[in-house]
């Protein structure tokens, strides 16, 4: 799981940079590229380790389809990741909507527990 996204790795199909399948560890900061399958999982074609551990304030980026939009609480989900867009500086024209594909960039204050 990476930021609420299920990522499937394949030692024969996934290209690894700055890490290997065997040395990748929980808590590593990684960049993942891949293809979304019918189950909504990312079939990783590329994984790059950016850091050994999370540093508060690190910018993250997630792309995906909005679900469970709550215009009152100003939240939505991209798979299992809940996004709070109350202080967003850029929103899609007309605001976010369920089933809309978005790119979310944010700085995380603290690591998830």
Q: Is the pLDDT of residue 91 over 70?
A: yes
Average pLDDT, the chain: 92
Please, which residues have CB within 8 angstroms of residue 67's CB and are 6 or more apart in sequence?
A: 76, 77, 78, 98, 99
Global confidence as pTM = 0.82
Q: Is the pLDDT of residue 110 over 80?
A: no
Tell me: do 43 and 63 sit in the same domain: no
Residue at 27 is within a domain: yes
Domain containing residue 68: 59-107
Quote the pLDDT of residue 40.
Answer: 87
Residue at 1 is within a domain: no
Residue at 113 is within a domain: no
Quote the pLDDT of residue 112.
Answer: 54
Return the residue matching tokens 């809940």. 82
Counting the structural domains of the chain, the total is: 2
Report the chain's terminal Cα–Cα distance, integer Å. Answer: 13
Residue at 112 is within a domain: no
Q: Is the pLDDT of residue 71 over 70?
A: yes
Q: Which of 45-49, 66-70, 85-89 has the lowest mean pLDDT?
A: 85-89
């Amino acid at each position: 799981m990476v930021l609420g996204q299920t990522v499937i790795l394949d030692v024969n199909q996934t290209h690894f940079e700055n890490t290997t399948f065997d040395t990748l560890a929980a808590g590593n900061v990684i960049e993942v590229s891949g293809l979304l399958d019918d189950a909504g999982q990312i079939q990783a074609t590329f994984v790059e380790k950016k850091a050994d551990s999370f540093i508060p304030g690190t910018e993250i980026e997630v792309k995906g389809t909005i679900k469970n939009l709550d215009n009152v609480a100003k939240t939505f989900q991209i798979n299992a990741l809940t996004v709070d867009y109350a202080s967003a500086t850029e929103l899609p024209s007309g605001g976010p909507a369920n089933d809309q594909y978005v790119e979310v960039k944010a700085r995380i204050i603290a690591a998830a527990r």
